[in-house]
Chain A
Amino acid sequence: QYKQTTLDSYFKKD
């Protein structure tokens, strides 16, 4: 089964 991921980890601020 596949689950949809989000982009949240790519938008994390340092």
Chain B
Amino acid sequence: MFKAELSNPNILKTSFEAISAIVDEIQFQTDSEGLRLDALDRGHITFLHLDLKASLFDEYICDEPEKINIDTDEFMKVLKRSKSDDRVLLSLDEGNLIITFEGQAKRTFKIRLIDMEYEPATPPAIEYPTEFSIPFDLFKNSINDIDIYSDKVSLSVDSEKFKAFATGEFGEVNIEFIHGESVKEEASSVFSLEKISEMLKADKFSDNVTLSIGNDMPLTLSLKMISEEGELRFLLAPRIEN
């Protein structure tokens, strides 16, 4: 038996704004610890990991581990119908994920479970020279600034500053932010702006974003709830100079 209840739909909704932009299908893995998913996009450019601990839910029951395969667009269509003060209940029957919104009315949606084409990828452990946190809004604004000039962004960090830079046909933009964190090395890599923008659709998950950057290494971007009961993490392959 699987049953999970949340006092509002916002964490699921904001997570799947990003997840449904990146992958077509996902497998939720549930056990007594909580609900997780790992997914790699078709182009193998972005990997994502969502971890929602059992303690995050108002009620959480999972007698035995389950694998719940769903189409992310179909799930997002249902989540978009939620109201921010609705209670959300997730459960399963034979062949369906059942999503119930309890507010003014009780609304029950079923999504057919699907066969997965691929087994979910296991997240790789990558050793980084840097890790630091910056405000989510600042990062999102920087990406929107860069969008004026280019489809790619150079992200770099040193002991003092985080920098985002882009150059285009008609000019360039340079953003600097004193991060105030303990970063001992310098690192810089270039990334697709479109791919970063997809991740930042999860704009209500966390007030801060933790970034790990290396030199021509993937970007790790992590959104964590203050309570540490939820994390949405992305890994993005860099663009490198030919």
Q: A: which residues have CB within 8 A of B?
A: 1-8, 10-11
Complex contact A2–B239 (CB within 8 A): yes
Q: B: which residues have CB within 8 A of A?
A: 40, 43-47, 121-122, 124, 126, 152, 190, 192, 218, 235, 237-242
Complex contact A2–B242 (CB within 8 A): yes
Complex contact B239–A10 (CB within 8 A): no
27 contacts between A and B (CB under 8 A): A1-B242, A2-B239, A2-B240, A2-B241, A2-B242, A3-B239, A3-B240, A3-B242, A4-B43, A4-B237, A4-B239, A5-B239, A6-B43, A6-B44, A6-B45, A7-B44, A7-B45, A7-B47, A7-B124, A7-B218, A7-B235, A8-B44, A10-B218, A10-B235, A11-B44, A11-B47, A11-B121
The CA-CA distance from A2 to B242 in the complex, in Å, is 6
The 9 closest A-B pairs by CB, nearest first: A6-B44, A2-B239, A10-B124, A5-B237, A1-B242, A7-B237, A4-B239, A7-B44, A6-B237
